[in-house]
Amino acid sequence: MGKRREGREVALQLLFHWDLNVQQPLSVSELDLFWEFRAAVAGVRTFATKLLNGVISHQATIDEKITRYTANYELKRISAVDRNILRMAIYEMLYAHDVPPIVAINEAIDIAKKFGTEESGKFVNGVLDRVKLDLNRPLRTALDKNP
């Protein structure tokens, strides 16, 4: 598994914890405790923490996008796994200019298939396909090659 894929999976675990428990930025001691139980190389830790903090800092905008494109669902009724996969992918699509949006979408779908329900991949794909229509950037290339 690549470092970025592993970083996204770790970020999903952190976001899941954040979403269901604390709803505020995780402290250094909480992250240190997490890393004691979830071994990862430094690059994976850095990438996962960047995703976590990015989602938290842009949560209102990200959640507004999710709510707009899931009109028949309340945000809290979307499974926590799917909700946080969507948050992470939308963060990357909107703010991570070193990641092509198509890559963020494909990664999110694969992670949803691995960690979500039988329908998660289709659900995540449907929402993110609608979000990508709002983007004013190339879908298949990164804007900034240096992360």
- At 143 the pLDDT is 76
The hierarchical CATH code for the domain 3-132 is: 1.10.940.10
Sign (positive/negative) of CA torsion 80, 82, 83, 85?
positive
- What does R_g of the chain's alpha carbons equal in angstroms? 14
Tens of pLDDT, residue by residue over 36-59, are 788 788 888 899 999 999 999 999
Rounded distance between C-alpha atoms, residue 108 and residue 88, angstroms: 8
The predicted-structure confidence for 115-133, as pLDDT tens digits, reads as follows 999 999 999 999 999 999 9
pTM of the model: 0.90
Answer whether 134's CB lies under 8 Å from 32's CB. Answer: no
Number of Cβ within 10 Å of residue 69's Cβ equals: 18
Tell which residue, 3, 7, 31, 28, has the closest CA to residue 91.
7
Give residue 73's pLDDT.
Answer: 82
pLDDT at 85: 98
Map out the domains of the chain as residue ranges: 3-132
Report percent pLDDT > 70 for the chain: 93
